[in-house]
Structure 1
Amino acid sequence: MTSSPRRSRRTVTRAAIALVITAGSTAALTGTATAHGTAGTVTAAPLVKGLYQSSYSERNKVLWTTSAVGRPPVVSSSLLKVDPKTLKVKQTVTPPVTDAATGALEAVYGVAVDDEHDTVWTTNTRNNTVAVYSQRTGKHLATLPNVAHAREIVVDERHDTVWTTAFGDGSLVAFDSKTFEEKRRVTVDEAGPTGLVVDERTGTAYAADLNGDQVIEVTSKSVTPRLIPAGDGPISIALSRNGRTAYTADQTGGGLSVIDLRKGLVTKSVATDAGALSVAADDRTGNVVVVNRTAATATVVDPRKGAVVRTVTTGANPNHVTVVKGTAYVVDKSGAGLDGADQIHSFRVTR
């Protein structure tokens, strides 16, 4: 299925996405957070070099994080099982080798857990594939092809579906989480889908379109995707608990857009900081967290008031945020840990 989006306010090239898949510079960790003059605690721990994203398993009470270092051939990449309380690595899984001559690995970038089937899914951006691993053993179960510049991935357990964004050709691709077979593919001309989220109650998938300054909505029954205006350079997306509101981290605009999905319009725009890159919602408070890569901060926003609640200093180049039961987990590309390792930070969304 193909649809043509409205033209972006500016031309966004593929170079924009490269920001997400390049190593960050080294910087020292600042271990405090500012909340309108009140200090708050941030816990930080080094993991490995090349951190990208994280996803939480309720079934196993662990965080899964991905890492990959360098340009092809990528010979250093890992899928880590991390204790969310201690931030210590419990298990390291190495992706399979794709080229014996160079030692290149099927490097992992995006990540999502499927607790129903006890698996963890990854995007293998440089290989244009996605992969499936066992959460219990770490065994590589499958590699699924034809996902051009696979970026993010989400699991809809209720509908046995896994969605991923193919930035390279403007597609959203769905796989059966039981059989691993491709079950659906939706393409939007000239789009650059990046961030991704799914409403499990309805089975509707929403992707942030970096190229088109819009959100791509694909329902379980739609023939043509719906295109909803967003902010300036939306690169990540989250949903409110009731599924009626979407939040986008706007990389170009440096802020958060609050989008009424029923009306199909932006109702609030909140400046966060330079290089807004990832967003996650806290179902307990209704607040959202935006990580700002350029500014090396994480911003807690009350989307109902359209106001910043708290700004947290992270390591340099924060790359992704996951919120679990009121705690935010931010992975960075600071290289500030032992032997140049990147770090994971945790802090309470509420004070």
Structure 2
Amino acid sequence: MSAAIRPIHRIRRTTAIAVALASGSVLALAGTASAHAGHTEPAVSTVTSAGLAQGLYQSAYSERNQVLWATTAVGRPPVSTSALLKVDPKTLKVKASYTPPVTDTNTGAVEAVYGVAVDDEHNTVWTTNTRNNTVAVYSQRTGKHLATLPNVAHGRDVVVDERHNLAWASGNGDGTLVAFDTRTYKEKKRITVEGAAPTGLAVNERTGTVYAADLNGNRLIAVSPYAKDPTFIPAGEGPISVALSADGATAYAADQTSGAVSVVDLRKKAVTKTVPTGAGALSVAADPSMGRVLVANRTAGNVTVVDPRKGKVVETLATGANPNHITVARGTAYVLDKSGSGPEGQDLVHRIRIAR
């Protein structure tokens, strides 16, 4: 028998943001809840922030090692300042920093890292080396550079399918999606869609299907490892990032042009809801434990928490300027920004404890 149903009162959500005020400091400010007669404020998400490094781009969480991996690259070619960072998710401090291989001894240019994904099955980290048109593989245990794999034109994102031993990379420069064997590092599959600009990636490890946001086509590109040709699914305006629901039946696309997230029924191949989130929606991640979707809105300078079933924003959380990437693990989101507002000019990392 179920418990008695109690009346639900209207509630007001609050948001919080913490700013690192001194070098190495990490401060958190939690939303406060107050109780009034007959009214109880719910839990609210909290944000903890810290200066991390200059030139932050993307992050990925390793369940196996319980660390956050982040990429940094500073400046235009030849890029000589870049690092793969191993970050403690509890303290938000850098545990180790690994410099990519030098590609030009005359200029000091390195194989700068931008996109990142972890392969906990093989204890490796995969990166896209956008300006070198390659992807690379590093050891999670030692940070050693293990391989550089060519022919990924202006590679943007990489995602790992541990079940099928594949790492997929998006070649934004020529409309390609490339799959590499995560054991041998050999290329296994290549799909090219003329006129497409694939950016963000998500993979359904049960089916092996990878989904790419097509910035040029207002659509998702779906590629099965077993099919010869891709299929196309409508999305919103300017999709640049994509995430999947826990059951893999729904995709969420961050639509940069319209500043919204599209809820996409993958079986019906149709957008079922469009939820405005904020200007410059750039990165999206799904929290399977709560069924929430989080969107980093770069121009708006915030993160929105979306209830996709109801099709509405339930929280808006301030971050530093120019939030660039978001990843979610165990009910916690990690957001990297390009604000340069750390005590020594660093970009910030924000840890969000998502409200239950």
Normalised to the residue count of structure 2, the TM-score between the two structures is 0.88
Aligned to 2:198: 193
2:124 pairs with one of 119, 140, 149: 119
Which among 303, 313, 322 is matched to residue 317 of structure 1?
322
Task: Describe the SS at the equivalent of 1:338.
Answer: coil
1:28 Cα deviation after fit: 9.2
Which aligned pairs between 1:1-351 and structure 2 lie closer than 5 A? 40-351=45-356
Amino acid at match of 1:165: S
Bigger Cα displacement from structure 2, 214-223 vs 260-269: 214-223
Structure 1: stretches of 5+ with no match in the other structure: 1-26
Gaps of 5+ in 2: 1-18, 22-26, 33-40
1:41 Cα deviation after fit: 2.7
- Conserved? CA contact 2:46–2:354, under 8 Å: no
1:222 deviates by 1.4
SS of aligned partner of 1:72? coil
Q: Contact (CA 8 Å) 1:33, 1:311: kept in 2 or not?
A: no
Q: Tell me which amino acid in the other structure corresponds to 2:275.
A: V
| Structure 1 runs of 4+ with >4 Å offset | 27-40
How many residue pairs align between the two structures? 325
Q: Which structure has the larger Rg?
A: 2
Aligned Cα root-mean-square deviation (Å):
1.8
Distance in structure 2 (CA, Å) of the matches to 1:62 and 1:50: 19
Structure 1 distance, partners of 2:28, 2:347, is 15
Which whole-Å deviations, capped at 9, do the CAs of 1:266-322 have from their partners, x for residues lacking one? 000000000000000001011000000001000000001001010000000000001
Task: Tell me the CA shift for residue 220 of structure 1.
Answer: 2.2
Q: 1:34·1:310 contact (CA, 8 Å) conserved in 2?
A: no
User: What CA deviation, in whole Å up to 9, does each residue of 1:114-140 have, x standing for no partner?
Assistant: 011110000000000000000000000
Ranked by relative contact order (alpha carbons within 8 Å, sequence separation 6 or more), the top structure is 1
Contact 2:43–2:355 under 8 Å retained in 1: no
SS in 1 for 2:163: helix
| Equivalent residues of 1:157, 1:200 under 8 A apart | yes
Hey, what's the Cα distance between the residues in 1 that align with 2:328 and 2:281? 16
> What one-letter code is carried by the residue in structure 2 that aligns with 1:268?
K
1:84 is paired with a residue whose SS is coil
| Contact 1:31-1:314 within 8 A present in 2 as well | no
CA positional deviation for 1:42: 1.1
CA contact 1:34–1:312 (8 Å) conserved in 2: no
Secondary structure at the residue paired with 2:284? strand
Give SS of 2:344's match.
helix
